[in-house]
Amino acid sequence: MSLRSALPLLAFLGALALTAWLPARIPPPPVRSSFRVGLIFDVGGRGDKSFNDAAYAGLLEAARLDGISFELAEPSGAEDREGAMRLFAARKFDLILGIGYIFTRDITEVARAFPGSRFACVDYAGDERTPENLVGLRFREEEGAFLVGAAAGAESESKHVGFVGGMNIELIRRFEAGYRAGVKAVCPACEVHVAYAGTTPEAFRDPLRGKAIAASQIARGVDVIFHASGLTGSGVFEAARVAGKRAIGVDRDQYDEAPGVVMTSMVKRVDTVVREVIREVAAGTFRSGVRSFGVRGGGVDWVHEGPSAVGLRPSTVEVVEQLRGRITSGELQVPSAP
């Protein structure tokens, strides 16, 4: 596919309110392998089948369409994260990508130290005033979680639904808040059981802990469980499979991780955002600051079509899509704190 033929995607995003950070017309970037991107993964790393893999998919798409070159790093701690970013910057990479809120402090400091490089952080949790060479990319996760919460409330037969979070931090509590609100919007009598896998980043890569939490919730009557826990979620899926219950994926369509168990997923378009910020830098239209992506504009969504949603009742899809329209129009404001 040529670069010019890829422009409809850009137009689509612009038309759906991403124009707050994407110019209406961006000239196609030059195809040159000398354009280099360094991507540093979040906790869980490549192969988490969730957040990190979504970012990697966006990077691969940029490589396929634009011919960029890239290198990857999977740090084991804070020193490794900062070191990887400094190394990419010292080697004069065109763009350095930090994937995850945990990069916020380090990437802000490194960006200030290397003003000649461009930086982007997914789930940036810092101040709105970023360095001039840093863009913070945020999502309104509570909106997408609201949609799958509504689906869980509509589909639950026991009126008990579960939420399994990874690390107990503000970011994941936004998922919880939206999910709770969505459940209650369609099933006021439903009880929402909530548990977190831990208070350190390791909570995002502990499938055994995820399985134990989910099994405990199922024992209390839960028949639908939504996880926002990275690799830990694979344990949630396993517990649901063993018990014959249903689960909800996160960040990307996770149906293939547990066919017949995952009834829908909350989609967080990390892939698209990564893809487009690369194009912006390559086209010379980079803009610093903080961007926010929600249901309006397709930044977050839910899976309700195709084989990945075959288990959803038509009535569930209808009611959730009505709620989706109310969020898009601004009529419905989703809470961001439990």
Does the domain spanning 141-268+304-329 belong to CATH 3.40.50.2300? yes
d(CA 191, CA 31) in angstroms, rounded, equals 54
From start to end of 168-318, where are the E strands?
191-198, 224-228, 246-251, 262-268, 289-293, 300-302
Closest residue by Cα to residue 61 from 270, 268, 252, 212: 270
Topology agreement, domain 4-139+270-293 and domain 141-268+304-329: yes
pLDDT at 119 over 50: yes
Residue with tokens 């490589």: 63
Residue 33: what pLDDT? Answer: 57
134-139 and 36-40 beta bridge pairing: unpaired
Domain ranges of the chain: 4-139+270-293, 141-268+304-329
- Provide the terminal-to-terminal Cα distance of the chain, rounded to the nearest Å: 45
Least confident of 16-30, 271-285, 308-322: 16-30
Full-model pTM: 0.84
What tokens does 310 get? Answer: 């075959």
How far apart are the C-alpha atoms of 49 and 236, rounded to whole Å?
A: 14
pLDDT tens-digit series, residues 215-260: 999 999 999 999 999 999 999 999 999 999 999 999 999 999 999 9
Question: How many angstroms from the chain centroid is the CA of residue 265?
Answer: 11
CATH, domain range 4-139+270-293: 3.40.50.2300
Query: DSSP letter at 229?
Result: -
